[in-house]
Amino acid sequence: MDLGTLIKGKRVLVTGASSGLGAHFARLMARNGAAVVIAARRKDKLEALAEELGALGASQVTEGALDGADEASVKQAFEEIATTGADLDVVVNNAGISGDGLALNLPTSDFDAVGGTNLRGVWLVATEAARRWKAAQRAGAIVNIASIQAERVAPGLAAYSASKAAVVQLTKSLALEWARFNIRVNALEPGYIRTELTAELWDQPYGVEMIKRIPMRRLGEPSELDGPLLLLSSSASSWMTGSVIAVDGGHLVSAL
């Protein structure tokens, strides 16, 4: 089965789409003929990507500002989306920040910012989408982007790990509540992925040592998330909800 054919013509919202995995996910949906809605805090960062998505084959491209931690911003974004085309079919809840820093040195404001984007943002976007789907008696699929840090930890990422663990439990809770409405909620847990934002890290001694702890002894590429994301976004996973898929080169099963 070609999972991409199941996305063609679907309207997909990707949050945090201005860079990194968010931009990659938007390109993936565009290449498979979806109508792509890209959102990020700063709309100006999306303009070049929007042009690229059109050239890649997106059936429609819509761009808009969305601050996931701000309830008013989320509601306004969904109102604007509703006026620019068909209803959404899929939400990829990707927006997130890392908030690096050892716990004793991390300002409370940074901890709050990580939770605001990574957890509150996922909550606000998911509930707004589901509220509209339920009212319209429409099915929908939500894919929350978590992390293997939800299962295991590393120094300097306490706030991030806590937020991603909460995203996993939120995914399962929402899946339980919304299954009767045919609204599916699943999550991806990427491992260490090479992106333009992290490329320099992996060439440093610390990064090289981190790669050695991955059982497959290499980083993942963004494209290796494509199959799992298309699966969870499409009808190929029509009987999956509350599932969490790790894509990590075996990192979660590495020996302690």
Quote the pLDDT of residue 232: 98
Stretch 11-34: mean pLDDT = 97
CA distance 215 to 237: 28
Is the model's pLDDT at 200 over the cut of 90?
no
- The tens digit of pLDDT for each residue in 148-167 reads 999 999 999 999 999 999 99
- Does residue 9 surpass a pLDDT of 90? yes
Position 22 confidence tier, pLDDT thresholds 50, 70, 90:
very high
> Over pLDDT 90: what percentage of the chain?
89
Alpha-carbon distance of 18 to 41, in angstroms, equals 9
Nearest to 39, CA basis, from 92, 116, 114: 92
Q: How far is CA 195 from the centre of its chain?
A: 15
- Starting from the edge strand earliest in sequence, which strands make up the sheet with 11-15, in order? 60-65, 35-40, 11-15, 90-93, 140-145, 183-190, 244-247
Q: Say which residues have a Cβ less than 8 Å from residue 255's Cβ, sequence separation at least 6.
A: none
CB atoms closer than 10 angstroms to residue 203: 8
State residue 198's pLDDT score: 77
In the annotation, is 192 catalytic? no
Catalytic one among 160, 246, 247, 251? 160
Mean pLDDT over all residues of the chain?
95
**CA end-to-end span of the chain:** 38
User: Distance (Å, rounded) from C-alpha 65 to C-alpha 50?
Assistant: 13
Assign 88 a pLDDT band (cuts: 50, 70, 90).
very high
Its pTM stands at 0.97
Name the pLDDT band for 1 (thresholds 50, 70, 90).
Answer: confident
The percentage of the chain sitting over the pLDDT mark of 70, rounded to a whole number, equals 100
User: All domains of the chain, ordered by start, with CATH?
Assistant: 3-246 (3.40.50.720)
CB atoms within 10 A of CB 51: 12
Structural contact between residues 115 and 68, judged by C-beta atoms closer than 8 angstroms: no
In tens, the pLDDT along 36-76 reads 999 999 888 899 999 999 999 999 999 999 999 999 999 99
In 3D space, the residue among 36, 33, 26, 27 whose CA is nearest the CA of residue 7 turns out to be 33
Mean pLDDT, rounded, for 180-199: 92
Reported confidence tier of residue 99, pLDDT bands at 50, 70, 90: confident
Is the distance from CB of 187 to CB of 118 less than 8 angstroms?
no
How confident is the model over 214-246, as pLDDT tens digits? 999 999 999 999 999 999 999 999 999 999 999
Burial degree of 212 (CB within 10 A; 0-12, 13-18, 19+):
exposed
Q: How many CA atoms lie within 13 A of 4 on its CB side?
A: 12
Strand duo 35-40 + 11-15: pairing: parallel
Least confidently predicted of 112-116, 146-150, 184-188, 201-205 = 201-205
The reported pLDDT for the residue numbered 227 is: 98
DSSP E strands, 164-255: 183-190, 244-247
Strands (E), 115-197: 140-145, 183-190
Tell me if 150 sits within 8 A of 169, measured CB to CB. no
H/E stretch holding 15 reads: strand 11-15
Please check whether residue 186 is in contact with residue 144, taking contact to mean a CB–CB distance below 8 angstroms. yes
